[in-house]
Amino acid sequence: MDLLDINAYTPDWPFRRLRHRTADDLLRLMDAAGIARAVVSPLGAAFRLDASGPNAELLEFIRNHADRLAAAFAVNPNYPTWEDGLREALEGGAVALRLYPNYHAYPTADSACIEATHAAAEAGLPLLVAARLQDERSHHPMMKVPPVTPGALARLAAAVPRARLVVTMLRLAEVQGLVEAPNLHFDLCGMQGPVGFLAQLLEAVGPERLLLGTALPLQYPLPSVEKLRTATLSPEVHAAIASGNAKRLLHM
């Protein structure tokens, strides 16, 4: 299978030292899981109001690996110069924008968020929306960050129907609550079950709205790949989830 990971990050995590900290480390994990390419977001941007620094660090991180690693620039719509991030994304060859609504503490129905979503759609860039970055049970006791709710995601999708939105790390029940939002797409990394969950996902939203995502290096990539590899699917559906849907959304 040709595998494209829509949901990877730079290794900037303040709560523990991640074992895999360089681009070469990420590529070794990708190789072990059979992943050809990954879209990388600046994880450190979730913890800074101004995303320009982490975006610059992201470009340096992937600079020597443009054949395997593509950039998703982060923007914080509540920061006064967020438009610079969109401009820099276009100039820097980014394939998507990344939003961290829960870490930057703004509702998706906020006018600034809707404005940024409109701007991304106008620029032809999909938006990767982090519903969560890790299981809430693993959060630092002094930094409990609630996930973005399905209702908030549905309102954003309805406010900007031409936007291409990819929501990362949702649970099965959360995705099942978003069936009526056709411009929302979902990765697989937040779903660890139940047995047969992928069949339930396909029944709920169809194959064209599902993408491979791993949350590398916060999570090892192989479990997400195995969810797809071991599922009983037609070759066409396998190929669509593995990379075809992502390539279509990202124009890659």
Give pLDDT tens digits for 215-225.
999 999 999 99
85: which 2 tokens?
């991030």
Amino acid at 87: R
What integer pLDDT is reported at residue 48 of this predicted model?
Answer: 96
Domains and CATH numbers, the chain: 3-250 (3.20.20.140)
Whole-angstrom distance, CA of residue 198 vs CA of residue 211: 11
Q: Give the number of other Cβ atoms within 10 Å of residue 8's Cβ.
A: 28
Kindly state the average pLDDT of the residues 34-46: 98
User: Quick check: 39 and 7 in contact, CB under 8 A?
Assistant: yes
Sign of torsion over alpha carbons 38, 147, 182, 160: negative
Q: Is the pLDDT of residue 193 over 90?
A: no
pLDDT value at residue 41: 98
- When pLDDT is cut at 50, 70 and 90, the band that residue 88 belongs to is very high
What value does the mean pLDDT take over residues 63-73? Answer: 97
Ramachandran angles phi, psi of 74, nearest 5°: -85, 145
* pLDDT tens, residue by residue, 102-133: 999 999 999 999 999 999 999 999 999 999 99
Residue 94 has pLDDT above 80, yes or no: yes
Grade residue 71 by pLDDT with cuts at 50, 70 and 90.
very high
Give the per-residue pLDDT at 224.
95
Overall average pLDDT of the 148-167 stretch: 97
Sign of CA dihedral 83, 85, 91, 96: negative
Q: What is the DSSP string of the chain?
A: --EEEEEEE-S--TTS--S--SHHHHHHHHHHHTEEEEEEE-GGGGG-S--HHHHHHHHHHHGGGTTTEEEEEE--TTSTTHHHHHHHHHHHT-SEEEE-HHHHT--TTSHHHHHHHHHHHHHT--EEEES-SS-GGGS-TT---PPPPHHHHHHHHHHSTT--EEEES--HHHHHTTTT-TTEEEESTT---STTHHHHHHHHH-GGGEE----BTTS-SHHHHHHHHTS---HHHHHIIIIIHHHHHHT-
> Which pairing describes strands 69-74 and 127-130: parallel, antiparallel, or unpaired?
unpaired
Q: Assess contact for 12 and 56: CB atoms under 8 A.
A: no
**Residue-averaged pLDDT of the chain:** 95
According to the model, what pLDDT value does residue 192 have? Answer: 82
Q: Are 146 and 136 in contact (CB under 8 A)?
A: yes
Global confidence as pTM: 0.96
Which residues lie closer than 8 Å to 120 by C-beta, 6 or more apart? 86, 97, 126, 127, 163
pLDDT band at 196 (very low <50, low <70, confident <90, very high): confident
Summarised one tens digit per residue, pLDDT across range 168-180 is 999 999 999 999 9
Percentage of the residues of the chain whose pLDDT score is greater than 90: 92
The answer to whether 4 and 36 have CB atoms below 8 angstroms apart is yes
